[in-house]
A and B are shown apart, each in its own frame.
Chain A
Amino acid sequence: MKNILLLLFFLTVTQAIYGQAALSPRIASYDIRVELDTEKHVLTGTALLNWTNPSADTVGELRFHLYMNAFKNSRSTFMKESGSRFRGTKAKEDPEAWGWIDITRLSLPGGADLTSSIRYIQPDDGNPFDQTVISVPLTEPVFPGKKLRAEIDFTTKLPKILARTGYSGDFYLVAQWFPKLGVYEPAGMRGNEKGRWNCHQFHANSEFYADFGVYRVSITLPPEYRVGATGVRIDSVMNADSNQVLTYLAEDVVDFAWTASPRFEVFNDRWNQVSVHLMIQPENAGQAGRYLHAVKSAMDYFAEALEPYPYPSITVVDPPLHGIQAGGMEYPMFITAGTVAGMPERVRIPESLTIHEFGHNYFMGILATHEGEEAWMDEGMNSYFESKIMDHVYGEQRSVYDFPRFHAGSAENQRLGYTGMSNPRIAPPARFSWEFPHGGYSPLSYNKAATLLFTLENLVGRPTMQEIMKTYYRLWKFKHPCGQDFIHVVNEVVRKNHGTRFGENMNWFFDQVLFGSGICDYKMASVHVNRIRPPAGIEEVGENKVTYRNIEYSEELYENRVIIHRLGDVVMPLEVKIDFDDGSSVTEYWDGKEETWEYRHEGTRRVVRAVLDPENKILLDLNRQNNSYTLQPRQGTIRNWAVNFLFILQHLFHIMAIFLA
Chain B
Amino acid sequence: MNIVKIYLRGANFSIRSWQLVTLLYLVHTLLSLVLVLPFYSAMKDTIGPSMALENFHKSFQFTAWTEFTRDFSQKMQVFAGIIGYALLFSLFVQVFLKGGILAMIREDYARFTIKRFAEACGIWFMRFLQVSLMVLLLHLVLAFLIWLPASLILQHQFTLTLTGQSLIRTALIALTLHFVLGSLVFLFGEYTRYILFVSGTKGVFRAFRKAVVLVLKKIYLVYPLFLLLLVNGILLSLAWFFLQKVTGFGTGFTLLFLVLMQQAVFWLRNMLRLWLTASQFYLYSKFPTPLIT
Contacts and interface: CB of A to CB of B under 8 A. Distances in A.
A341 B52 contact: no
Interface stretch (A436-444, A485-493, A623-631): A623-631
Interface string A255-288: 0000000000000000000000000010110000
Interface string A623-656: 1111111110111111111111111011111101
A633 B49 CA distance: 6
B186 A628 contact: no
Contact of A649 (B32, B52, B128, B269): B32
Interface residues of B, number: 71
B87 interface: yes
Interface residues on A, range: 35 or more
B36 A649 contact: yes
Contact of A637 (B33, B57, B94, B269): B57
A322 interface: yes
B40 A624 contact: no
A657 B90 contact: yes
A518 to B, nearest CB: 20
A169 interface: yes
A520 interface: no
B91 A654 contact: no
Contacts, number: 194
A397 B60 CA distance: 9
B43 to A, nearest CB: 4
Contact of A626 (B50, B63, B95): B50
Contacts of A420: 66, 70
Given A625-B71, A626-B50, A658 B262 contact: no
B201 interface: no
Interface in B38-53: 39-40, 43-44, 47, 49-53
B255 A321 contact: no
Nearest to B56: A637
Given A638-B40, A638-B47, A660 B161 contact: no
Contacts of B66: 416, 420
A542 interface: no
A609 interface: yes
A658 B63 contact: no
Given A420-B66, A659-B186, A638 B53 contact: yes
Interface string A402-414: 0001111100110
Given A405-B60, A629-B49, A653-B32, A638 B54 contact: no
Interface stretch (B108-116, B204-212, B245-253, B281-289): B245-253
Interface string B110-144: 00000000000000000010001001100100000
A321 B163 contact: yes
A160 B158 CA distance: 12
Nearest to A626: B50
A348 interface: no
Contact of A634 (B54, B161, B258, B262): B54
A415 interface: yes
Contact of B52 (A169, A339, A401, A625): A625
21 contacts: A168-B160, A321-B163, A406-B60, A629-B50, A635-B44, A636-B56, A636-B252, A637-B53, A639-B251, A642-B36, A644-B262, A645-B36, A646-B262, A649-B32, A649-B83, A653-B28, A657-B90, A657-B97, A658-B276, A660-B91, A661-B97
Interface of B: 28-29, 31-33, 35-36, 39-40, 43-44, 47, 49-54, 56-57, 59-64, 66-68, 70-71, 83, 87, 90-91, 94-95, 97-98, 128, 132, 135-136, 139, 157-165, 167-168, 186, 189, 249-252, 255, 258-259, 262, 265-266, 269-270, 273, 276
4 shortest A-B CB distances, which residue pairs?
A341-B164, A636-B251, A661-B94, A408-B62
Interface of A: 160, 168-169, 281, 283-284, 320-322, 339-343, 397, 401, 405-409, 412-413, 415-416, 419-420, 527, 609, 611, 623-631, 633-647, 649-654, 656-661
Given A420-B70, A625-B68, 7 more contacts: A281-B164, A625-B47, A630-B49, A638-B44, A646-B36, A647-B262, A647-B266
